[in-house]
Structure 1
Amino acid sequence: MSTPSPKNNLATGAHYYIKGINLLWRKELRLYIIAPLLINVLIFISLTSTLFHYFNSGMEWMLDFLPSFLHFLKWIVGLLVGVFLLLCYGYIFNAITNIIASPFYGILAQKTQELIAGTTPQDEPLGTLIPRVIAREIHKLIYFISRGAFVFILLFILGFMTITAPLVPVIAALWGAWCMAVQYVDYTCDNNQLAFTPMRKRLRANLYSSTGFGGMVMFASMIPIINIFAMPAAVTGGTAFWIKELQWQEES
């Protein structure tokens, strides 16, 4: 059975994302982030305008569930609801951009690996690469939806109980962090022909680093404008995570 890396901690995981941001400025990668950035800008404009249009009505609708004798807690509940809605916004933004931009992210991950480690995944024609990467994205989406359904039911139940309601954004954030780690480490794993299930096992064996990295991605994706650059940085940071902490880990 594989053992967690001694680097396995939240701070190290967060550092991989910071490294990913720094890598975006390397001239060797600039060409490969143009297309993802353009896609992100278009999705950002559409999704953010929709969020602002429905945000207030959504807040009022959710606060209507608060019992009258707890109205003095309205500002706290409003804050929790706001955080939850921002988490939903970040997750939806990621889901849409990843489906559309996944072939470009695969290429960016490959070039990042060449830059950091000097190694090159096996070459693959674009005609084979693009359908394979899109199929992998759909596989991940099915995983996120199937597991996420159980998380949603849990959050729904907890949200109706006053004593457990504050746990809702915490659990949602942890689930979002895990999803982001899976999503953005997978591009490099896919390039190196590591199957989806073994990839998740390696992330679980380095759970603290995975949570630190995924949490940073989730946080950045919740912030308008910053989230335009958050996804390419997550790809380059996820590649660094793979090279430094996951690449040589044996399977159980």
Structure 2
Amino acid sequence: MLDAFSALSRGTRLVYTPGLRRYVFLPILANLVVYAAMLSYVLTHFGGWLDGWMAMVPGWLDWLSWLIWPLFVLSLGLIVFFSFTLVTQLIAAPFYGLLAEKVEREVTGRPPLDDRGLARTAIDALGRELVKLGYILPRMLLLFVIGWIPVINLIAPVLWLLFSAWMMAVTYLDYPMDNNKVPFADMRRRLAARRWPTLTYGGWVMLITWVPLANLFLLPGAVAGAVLMWEDHYRALTPDIAPARR
């Protein structure tokens, strides 16, 4: 079966072929604007956030400051990563939904079950993004709270990393599934039933998003890679393959 890295590399090559590359320029431009704005904001405020967080460390843990400081930096970086990802995905979702549709037609020779134009794709994609936000944000809030609890917050970076990979999988693998009329709850069941491919794919996409500037050009490949993963790992699964996870 196709592994996550192969899907991403093939998908990236695919979206820059003559028939598909015209669908990637608008999301790249939109993400570039958001990237510049958020980077400027983070560089301005990051030091203050870190100082405030370190001030909450109890005195009896001062001897662990050499470990706590980098863990806090990692946690803050992951929070910024989540915020950037959510904003850019909300903006780029209509374009990515259309790109996933075109990639599926190119790869399989057939259109997805829900073959839509740009206007309907944009409206439906925004609605689906709101559903994703309703799923992701409460879990982000819980992890954020954990990050402020002394001692327990030492495991927060690990939890953020795992959830980051899962969130990336949910975000990108949902594009081909939405185009094929897979309900959101069913999509989550399918991802859980193929947990290893799901987490490895999400992990690779997460690494891509951390590559400054280059990520703007690689993320459309993640959309195409999601289509390849859908065809190879998830399409054949039945809706009752696993219980829904809340």
Q: What TM-score do the two structures reach when normalised by structure 1?
A: 0.87
Q: Which runs of 5+ in 2 are unaligned?
A: 241-246
Q: Is 2:50 the counterpart of 1:59?
A: yes
Query: Quick one: which of 89, 108, 128 aligns to 1:117?
Result: 108
1:135 aligns with 2:123: no
CA, structure 1 residues 63+223, in 2 after alignment: closer, same or farther (shift >3 Å)?
farther
Q: 1:28 aligns with which of 2, 11, 19?
A: 19
Give the alignment of 1:69-84 within 5 angstroms.
69-84=60-75
What's the offset of the Cα at 1:220? 2.1
Quick check: 1:181–1:213 contact (8 Å CA) kept in 2? yes
Task: Provide the aligned C-alpha RMSD in A.
Answer: 2.0
Secondary structure at the residue paired with 1:165?
Answer: helix
- How far apart in 2 are the matches of 1:14 and 1:148? 26
Match of 2:204 in 1: 216
The equivalent residue for 1:3 is none
Q: Distance in 2 between matches of 1:55 and 1:48?
A: 10
**Cα distance change, pair 29–126 in 1 and its aligned pair in 2 (3 A):** closer
Asked whether the equivalents of residues 80 and 166 of structure 1 are also in contact (C-alpha less than 8 Å), the reply is yes
2: distance between equivalents of 1:238 and 1:83?
27
Q: What do the CA deviations read for 1:177-211 (whole angstroms, capped 9, x no partner)?
A: 11110110111111111111111100000111111
Normalised by the length of structure 2, the TM-score is 0.88
- Partners of 1:48 and 1:224 within 8 A in 2: no
* 1:24-64 per-position Cα deviation (integer Å, ceiling 9, x unaligned): 33222210000000001100100111111111222222122
The superposition leaves residues 98-122 of structure 1 with CA deviations (integer Å, 9 ceiling, x where unpaired) of 1111111011101111222222124
1:196 and 2:180 matched: no
CA 1:244–1:64 in 2, change beyond 3 Å: closer, same or farther?
Answer: same
Structure 1 residue ranges, 4+ long, deviating more than 6 angstroms after superposition:
none
Q: Write the mapping of 1:163-178 to structure 2, written as runs, cut at 5 A.
A: 164-178=152-166
CA contact (8 A) 1:91 1:218 kept: no
For residue 87 of structure 1, the aligned residue among 78, 84, 88 is 78
Distance 1:230 1:58, change over 3 A: farther
Q: Percent identity?
A: 30
How far did residue 230 of structure 1 move?
Answer: 4.0
5+ unaligned residues in a row in structure 1: which ranges? 1-6
What is the count of residue pairs matched by the alignment? 239
Deviations 1:221-249 (A, max 9, x none): 23322332343222111111101111111
Distance 1:15 1:65, change over 3 A: farther
